[in-house]
Amino acid sequence: MSKIFNLFPNQIVGHDVPLHLKLGTEFLVLLVTLMAFLSVLSAAGIVGLGHMTHSWTSGLENSVTIEVPQQSSNEESVNRLILSLKKIDGVSKVERLGQKKMQEMLDPWLGGITGLWEDLPLPALITVTLSERDEGKIDKIGETVRRVLPDATMDAHEEWLGDLVKLANSLRFVSLAIFCLMMLVTAVVVAGAVRSRMAIHHRELELLHIMGASDSYITWQFVRYIMIQSLKGVVFGIVLGGLTIGVLGVVSRNGSDLLPHIDFDLVEMAVFAAVPLILIAIAVWAARITALRVLREMP
């Protein structure tokens, strides 16, 4: 394992302070690996939730369903309603759900029992598709329905869509909160590691200080060390995260049809890979602030 974590030769570090020595801060690579892995997953979770919500709501967002009870659903009144709806500006399509399609939808619930259809008080269902979801147009459709067929009811799927959006937003917020927490943990652990290494190398720091090394000269060595450690961790984290997403993608394709397939395009994958880079920025920032703060304690 240690060989894997030593891909970057120590010569790259270039050090007056012997930060290349293994003195207990190597766990940083492991920590950043874990954080990068989790951040890839949380980013994928946020995007995946968007996909899932979209797949559940697509087709419903821009549509309204009108239900005409059987006692009012004679051909003439239904056709009159359809004609009135078609005249509304912004309505792109008005379609009555045919008997066959309705049977297909209900079959799984009724267990394929035939011969019952004539006895069932099935309503007439009309789907109105809008060019874009607009509350004003939905209100106008409602007015038309009440005017032409007062018994009919309209479902704009608001409740269903609202719940889904709430759920998706909550899950996104949780993912974001976890991501922020990971950043905070990374910053705190890096700060602790830098403080510890500065305490270990106090004599070297004092010598550099006496020679007139500026705070930025010394700080840069710690920043570079943390940058390299974080970079190692992020590379491993991205690889692990990518593999995990790939496996989840395969599993989802062979799993329930209720769950959408986990498929991300190249741009999304690039974003997932870029997200852990924030970890490097956070780690470097924490290292710099900590080192400067410790050095300011020197005369």
Partner 1 sequence: MIKFEHVGLRYGIGPEVLSDINFTLEQGSFHFLCGPSGAGKTSLMSLLYLGRRPTRGTIQAFGKNTNVLPREELGLLRQGIGVIFQDFRLLPHLSAFENVALPLRINGFDEKKIKLHVEELLDWVGLGDCMHRLPPTMSGGQQQRIAIARAVIANPKLLLADEPTGNLDDEIGMKLMGLFEQLNKMGTTIVIATHSLQILDRLPHPRLILEGGNLQVFDPALGREDLSGRDTPSFSSEKAGGVVHV
User: Residue 238 in 3-state DSSP?
Assistant: helix
Integer Cα distance of 71 and 124 in angstroms: 10
CB of 279 or CB of 295, closer to partner 1? 295
Q: End-to-end CA distance of the chain, in Å? A: 41
CB of 26 or CB of 204, closer to partner 1? 204
CB of 100 or CB of 203, closer to partner 1? 203
- Please name the residues in contact with 269: beta carbons below 8 A apart, sequence gap of 6 or more: 242, 245
- Please name the residues in contact with 199: beta carbons below 8 A apart, sequence gap of 6 or more: none
Q: Which long-range contacts (CB under 8 A, 24 or more apart) does 205-211 make?
A: 205/17, 205/295, 205/298, 206/298, 208/16, 208/17, 209/295, 209/298
- DSSP secondary structure code for residue 186 in this structure: H
CB of 151 or CB of 204, closer to partner 1? 204
CB of 10 or CB of 92, closer to partner 1? 10
Residue with the two structure tokens 């920032």: 285
CB of 10 or CB of 79, closer to partner 1? 10
Least CB distance to partner 1 at residue 211 (A): 5
Find, among 65, 72, 17, the residue nearest to 211 by Cα.
17
Least CB distance to partner 1 at residue 294 (A): 13
Residues that bind partner 1 (CB under 8 A): 15-16, 18, 20-21, 203-204, 206-215, 217, 296, 299
Integer Cα distance of 202 and 25 in angstroms: 16
* Pair of tokens at residue 275: 């997200």
